[in-house]
Structure formats: C-alpha cells, structure tokens
Amino acid sequence: MPSRVEIFPLTGLPLINPGDDLAGMIVKQVRMKGLSIKNGDIIVIGQKVVSKSEGRVVDVSKVRASKRALDLARRVRRKAGFVELVLRDAKKVAKASKQVLIVTTKQGFTCLNGGVDKSNVEGERMYALLPVDPDMSARKIRARIQRLTNRQVGLLITDTHSRPFRLGQVEETIGLAGLDPMADYRGKHDLFGYQLRFKNVAVADELAAAAELVMGQGTEATPVAIIRGVGRVEFKERARSSELVVAVGQDLFKGTL
C-alpha cells in the first residue's frame, strides 16, 4: 500500500463541562473506541470543547455592558450583552452593521462576532468565548496527552470561519502546539528547477479543514479528530498560531474589499 493520510473521528466523547480534564477524556475515549494515539499523530480539537473545559461559557443576560457596547448594540441591533462579550476580546472592530459584526480578536484572528458563538452550547442565553490564549491551551492539552500516552503528537485547536470572496465556512487553526503551521517552499525548486518565490502553504489550516470532514457542525458530537500519516508537517516545540495571521497593514488583499 502506498502511504496515505488517515483521519479518525473521535465519536462518543461526553459533553464537556468547566474544569473537565479534556486531554484525559480524549485519551480515555480513544481507548474506548479501539483507536490509538501514535507518534506523529496530529490531534485536532474544535474550539468549543476547549472553551467549555476552560469555563469560557457566559450567560449573556448577566453580562454588564459598557457604554461602548450599548451604543454599538443599538446601532447594529444586537443584544448589548452579546456585543459586550465580542468587544471584550476584540483588538479592533473591522465592521459593524445590522448584517454583520466582524472584529479582529486579541489573538489576531479577524472573524464574525470575534468567535463568540451560541451553537452547541447548552442554555438559551449561554455563549462560548474563544480560549483566552489558544496556543497556551494547545500546549497544555498536548503536554498532558503526551504524558498519558508516552507519544509525541502535534495539536491544533480550530474554529469555523467565514471568509472573504468565498461562500461557506471552513475550519481554520486558532491555536497549536508541537508543529510548524507552515510548509514553506520559498527558495526551493519545482520539477523543472524553477525557484519558487511565494509558495508557503498554511498546512495547519489544511489540517483543520481536513479534520472538519469528520467533525461536523450540528448533532455529530465529534469535536476531536486524529490525523495520521502526514509527511508534510514539521514537528517542532516552538510554534505559534500567530504565524498564520497577516500583520497589521501587511495584507496583500488590502483595498480589494
């Protein structure tokens, strides 16, 4: 058999609550399902369960809105508590209209509602926020999985993002540990000796998208996937999801939207 990439869904994980040992629950469920974690596996975790385990779930009716949030909420016709939550983790409001609220988060991700999201969170007024520091979350979960399994893995925390120019959402990486998010071809050569000047593949985002194929967004209850057999990934200890984000003022697409 030629080499292949495999993506395993981790089904049957219990609902996650604040304080839960997510890494321990993943390792336990992997065993329950007859799966395994091997050296070089990449474990992909949807942001929502990480946020839940870290207690980043908030009752929007109990949020005290600032003057700024109240003003913005009135303008965009959203609930003030919700807007307050979005603003608290925002570095910059990119767009605020009745149709859409787009912010750049403190972590640097430009996304709808700053990642504040209602889906798959129990309770009518409960919203999940992004982890405070997704790379830190990824490092902690990875370290514990490695300790429990004695295996070396890469770890990604992902979120579902809308994109400019293209319809529909795709899964993208917002936190990572143990692997280089990029596969950099710049300076390397193609089949005919031509030197590649721009190719720098966001392999962490491709892994996130691949994992979503088995994860789903509705009632699938599969927030974790294991990806095996990816030869393109460079495993390394020092890695940051900020490498996936365009620096302020540096966007090639500036002025196109």
Do 141 and 134 form a contact (C-beta atoms < 8 A)?
no
CA–CA dist 109, 248 (Å, integer)? 11
Rule CB under 8 A: say whether 249 interacts with a second copy: no
User: Of 130-189, which residues contact a second copy (CB under 8 A)?
Assistant: 160, 162-172, 181-183, 185, 188-189
Q: In the range 69-88, which residues lie near a second copy by CB under 8 A?
A: none
> In the complex, what is the shortest distance from the CB of residue 106 to a second copy, in angstroms, rounded to a whole number?
15
**Is residue 107 a contact point for a second copy (CB under 8 A)?**
no
Task: Rank residues 64 and 249 by Cβ distance to a second copy and give the closer one.
Answer: 249
Cα gap 6→205, rounded to integer Å: 16
Closest approach of a second copy to the CB of residue 124, in Å? 8
Residue 238 sits at the vertex; the CA angle it makes with 236 and 239, to the nearest 5 degrees, is: 90
Per CB under 8 A, does 257 bind a second copy?
yes
245 binds a second copy (CB under 8 A): yes
Candidates 56-64, 79-87, 137-145, 205-213: pick the segment binding a second copy (CB under 8 A).
Answer: 205-213
Neighbours of 55 (CB within 10 A): 12
The CA-based angle 133-139-142, given to 5 degrees, is 135
Out of 9, 46, 114, 178, the residue judged to bind a second copy by CB under 8 A: 9
DSSP string, 32-76: HTT----TT-EEEEEHHHHHHHTT-EEEGGG----HHHHHHHHHH
147 or 189: CB nearest a second copy: 189
> Contacting a second copy (CB under 8 A), which of 232, 234, 236, 240?
232
Using CB under 8 A as the binding rule, whether residue 57 contacts a second copy is answered as no
Contact 94, 104 (CB under 8 A): yes
Stretch that binds a second copy, among 68-76, 83-91, 133-141, 230-238 (CB under 8 A): 230-238
